[in-house]
Amino acid sequence: MKKLNVKNNEAAIYGVGGLGEIGKNTYGIQFQDEIILIDAGIKFPEDDLLGVDYVIPDYQYLVDNKDKIKALVITHGHEDHIGGVPYLMKVLNVPIYAGPLAMALIKNKLEEHGLLNSVELHEISDKSVLKFRKMKVSFFRTTHSIPDTVGIAVHTPVGVIVETGDYKFDLTPVTNQPPDLQEMARLGAEGVLCLMSDSTNAEKPIWTHSEKWVGNSIAHIFDQIQDRIIFATFASNISRIKTACDNAMAHGRKIAVFGRSMDAAIVNGRELGYLDIPDDAFVDAHDLQSLPANKTLILCTGSQGEPMAALSRIANGTHRQISIQPGDTVIFSSNPIPGNTTSVNSVINKLEEAGANVIHGRVNNIHTSGHGGQEEQKLMLRLMKPKFFMPIHGEYRMLKIHTELAEQCGVPMDHSFIMQNGDVLALSKDNARMAGHFQAGDVYIDGSGIGDIGSIVLRDRQLLSEEGIVVVVATINLHNQEIQSGPDILSRGFVYMQESGELLDEGRRLVFKTIRKAMRAKKATESSIRNAVIDDLQEFLYDKTERHPMILPMLIMNGNQK
C-alpha cells in the first residue's frame, strides 16, 4: 500500500471524503492489492466559498492506486453519495455497481458529462453478491428518504467490514421496502470485524418518524385546503413525491410538474414502479389556468431556497408560467439544510407578501429526516455487534457522540476510531490501529473548472464581495518616462462615484505621482509600477475610508520599453 504502514495480513479502511463533514462520502476498503470504493459524493459549498458550485474530494491517492480498484459500489442515489461519480470517472474508469434508482441517476450524470458509453455499469439488488479474487461484497436493504438504499458488507480475509450508508429504521415505508433486520442480524451473528455507520443524527435522542407519519399529516392538510396547492420538496425524495401525488389524485387534483430535476424524478420513479401515476393525472403548465384552483397541485423544486429553482422564481414573480394567486397554499416538505436557512426564509417571506399561505417547519409534521436518531443507531450497533467501530458521515461532534453510543452498546471506547479524511485504519482479526495518512483535501468545482479555484481566488472573491474593486487605467511610455493618458479611476462596489468625486480626484493625483516616481526607478518594469500603484492607493484609501478594496491597475504600455 503506497506510503502507508499496512501489513500484508491487515485490511485497511479510510475516508477520502465524508469524515468530519456532511457530504463528499467516498470510502475505501482495501486488502493487499484490491480496493473496493463505496460511494462518490459531493458536498455543497458553505457561504464563504463564493462562486463554488460543488466540493469533491482530492482523488490523488485513488489515482495513484487505480490498478487496485475493483469496483465502485453505491449505497443510494443522493448527491452526497453519487454527485462526484462523473468527476471520479474522468480520472478512474472503474466498474460501477448500483441499485435501480441510483443507476438511473448516475446514467443521467454520465450522459451530461459525455461519459455514458465509456463506463462499465452493473445494476444490483440487495440480494446481489460481487466476488473478487480476495474480497467479496454483499448487500442488505435499509430505509432512507429515497428508494433502493442498501448497506454494504465487504468480506475480507481478516473479517467482514460493514458500511451502513445513510439509514433509519422505517418499519412502515411508503415505498414498501422495509429494512432487512434479519440480514443485519445474520451478519452480526456471523461476526462483524468493523462497523462504519451513519452519524448524521447522533445528537438527537430520538427514533426518527416514519414516512407514513408524514403521509398522514400531508393527507390531513390536503383535506383542509380548498384552493391551489404548490408542493415543494427534494426531487430525490421519491417517497414524499409519491405521498403528494397520491393525495392529489385522491382529491381529484391534476398534477403540474416544474423543475428539470423534478421532471427527471417523476420519469425515473414511474419507470421503476415507485410512482403509480397514470398519464391523465398530469396537466401541462399552459392548461393550469383552465382548471379550478381546488383541482390542481403544482409539484416543484426549490424547497431549499435555491435562486434558480422553480419555487424561488415563483416567489420573485419571474416565473414565465406561474404567479402566486390569492388563496394559494405553498407547502415546504423539507427542512433547510445547514447554510440554507436564510435563503429559505427569504423565499417564504416573498411568498407570504405575494398573498400565499405557507406551511413549513416541524410544527406542521410535514417532514421527517432520512437519518436514524440515537435509538436507531443503537439498534444498528446491537444488530451488527462489531468488534471495532468507525463512525462516518458526520461532523466531529456527531462522530464523538456516536462512539459514546457504541460504548453503551458494548463496544469498548478504545475499539472506536474517530478519523479524518485520509486517515487509515489497519485491521487484523483481533487488532485495529492507525496506520498512516494520505492527502485528502477539498477540490472546488466552479462551472466546468475542476480544481482551478484555490485559496487565493476565494480570498479575492471574498474581498470583492466585502470591499469592492477600484480599477486604475493609464497609458504610459516607460522608455520616455511619460504618462500619455490617465490615470483614470473606476469604482465598483467600493464608493458611489457620483458622490465621491473629491476622493477619486485626490486618488488620481496620488496615482499620477506614484507612476511618475516608479517609472524613474533604475530597473522600472510594468510589474514594479503596478505594485507601487497598489501599495500607495491602498494606503490612501484605507486612511480615507478604513476599507480595503481590491486595486486593479490596468497599464497600457506604448513605445519601446526599457
Contact 73, 37 (CB under 8 A): yes
Sequence-distant contacts of 344-348: CB under 8 A, at least 24 apart: 344/303, 344/304, 344/305, 345/305, 346/305, 347/302, 347/305, 347/311, 347/312, 347/315
Strand partners for 433: 426
Cell numbers 469592492 correspond to 468
Q: Is 525 annotated as a binding residue?
A: no
Decide: helix, strand or coil at residue 484.
Answer: strand
Contact 390, 402 (CB under 8 A): no
Decide: helix, strand or coil at residue 188.
Answer: helix
CA distance 256 to 286: 10
Give the count of beta carbons closer than 10 Å to the beta carbon of residue 439: 11
Whether 198 sits among the annotated catalytic residues: the reply is yes
Q: Is 371 annotated as a binding residue?
A: yes
Contact 13, 27 (CB under 8 A): yes
Cell numbers 472506536 correspond to 416
CA distance 448 to 444: 11
Among the listed residues 144, 371, 393, 402, the single catalytic one is 371
Strand partners for 258: 300
Angle among Cα 539, 544, 547 to the nearest 5 degrees reads 70
- Label the pairing between strands 229-232 and 329-332: parallel
CA distance 56 to 73: 17
**DSSP, res 287:** G
CA distance 28 to 421: 11
CA distance 19 to 422: 9
Give me 11's grid cell.
485490511
Contact 3, 14 (CB under 8 A): no
Residue 490 amino acid letter: L
Q: What per-residue string of b and e applies to 507-521 under the rule 16 or more CB within 10 Å gives b?
A: bbebbeebbeebbee
Cell numbers 476498503 correspond to 29
- Strands lying side by side in the sheet with 469-477: 482-492, 469-477, 550-557
- Label the pairing between strands 388-392 and 69-73: unpaired
Q: Is 144 annotated as a binding residue?
A: no
Contact 291, 322 (CB under 8 A): no
Measured CA to CA in angstroms, residue 109 lies from 89, 101, 116, 310 at distances of 11, 13, 8, 21
User: At residue 471, what are phi and psi to the nearest 5 degrees?
Assistant: -105, 130
Among the listed residues 80, 166, 170, 198, the single catalytic one is 198
CA distance 94 to 108: 17
Give me 376's grid cell.
436507531
CA distance 247 to 219: 6
Whether 284 sits among the annotated catalytic residues: the reply is no
Q: Is 368 annotated as a binding residue?
A: yes
What residue numbers does the annotated binding site for substrate cover? 367-371
What residue numbers does the annotated binding site cover? 367-371
- Residues annotated as part of the active site: 198, 371
